[in-house]
Structure 1
Amino acid sequence: MTVASAEFLAGLVSEAKRDGITSFVAAAIVTDADRVLLVRRKPDDFMGGMWEIPSGKVEEGETVLLALHRETAEETCLIIDSVHSYVGHFDYPNSRGGTTRQFNFAVTVEKTEPVILTEHDAHQWALPNDLPEVSDAVRGLIARRDR
């Protein structure tokens, strides 16, 4: 079963719902050679100033894969060329008092430049062993993205 198959993606959502999760985010680990794209949350946002991978909410009626493509394009203006693997998920408390599950995928994009930000205040291409302030969950994803 491929990572982008409807069956695989539906299974991820079903498992999350069984775990009591009702809010979902799709995230892209975008690489350029050995570097990973990170974007920084604006200071006045939820978790402001934190560096993260491009990600965003899966909207009602939208698949995780569609959200992955849409959010990556919306946040960075980069177009996903291919989805290589599912890297895993993590859960976190959201700003509405619930719990969000973030589904993370290793991807390549058609072109790595220009990165045009619409929701963040900075971006950088970071080496996995020289990351800025990211969460432990994101640090772990980056470490295992190629395994």
Structure 2
Amino acid sequence: MNPRDDIRPTATPATATDPPALVVGVHLVLTEADRVLLGRRRNTRYAAGMWHLPAGHMERGEPVTRSMTREAEEELGISITEEDLLLVHTLHHLDADDGRSRLQLFFRPTRYEGRLRNAEPHKCSELRWWPLGTLPDDTVPYTAHALAGIVRGSTLSTVGWAG
């Protein structure tokens, strides 16, 4: 075998002028009067045991609205059409744990079909409605930040960035 036949491409280090690689998260803000639905995370690498909105990540090849409707079905067993999603907050989050830039999108459905249930008990130990003004102390910090912004009517915020 010719040594040149085994040449593999190598990754080039990113530079400051390269476009950022973003992780895109989608979060469902289900409210009832002044309460919001949160789930206690279980068996997860991130924030196990903490309260968080029903959420997930955008998968390759799908728009963010489809990501959100898919996550609602997977986690809560409800159906939401993409047209029934309102973007209520955008959070640009610099994750202190891994240094990755994350764009967190928070959607509120105008309506949905089905009965809410914990469809992923292996990832969520319980679902509970919490008053928006008094979230539990062990809520994922960026989730609490975004919900406070939503209550104030803010549609954009950042967390974890210097300055």
Q: Pick the TM interval, shorter chain.
A: 0.7 to 0.9
Equivalent residues of 2:92, 2:101 under 8 A apart: no
Q: Which of the two has greater strand per residue?
A: 1
How far did residue 92 of structure 1 move? 4.6
Aligned to 1:84: 86
Aligned to 1:142: 147
Residue 29 of structure 2 aligns to a residue whose secondary structure is strand
Residue 145 of structure 1 aligns to a residue whose secondary structure is helix
Residue 147 of structure 2 aligns to a residue whose secondary structure is helix
Seen in structure 2, the aligned counterparts of structure 1 residues 88 and 106 have a Cα distance that, compared at 3 Å, is: same
Share of identical aligned residues, percent? 24
Q: How does 1:1-147 map to 2 (within 5 A)?
A: 18=19, 20-43=20-43, 45-80=45-80, 82-93=84-95, 98-110=100-112, 113-118=115-120, 119-132=123-136, 133-146=138-151, 147=153
Could you tell me the TM-score, scaled by structure 2's length? 0.67
Q: Which of the two has greater helix per residue?
A: 1
The residue type paired with residue 105 of structure 1 is F
Q: CA RMSD in A?
A: 2.6
How far did residue 95 of structure 1 move? 8.0
Unaligned runs of 5+ in 1: 1-16
Report runs of 4+ in structure 1 exceeding 6 Å deviation: 94-97
Could you tell me the TM-score, scaled by structure 1's length? 0.73
Seen in structure 2, the aligned counterparts of structure 1 residues 40 and 104 have a Cα distance that, compared at 3 Å, is: same
Residue 69 of structure 1 aligns to a residue whose secondary structure is helix
Higher gyration radius (CA): 2
Equivalent residues of 1:25, 1:100 under 8 A apart: yes
Q: Quote the Cα distance in structure 2 between the aligned partners of 1:32 and 1:47.
A: 25
Count, aligned residues = 130
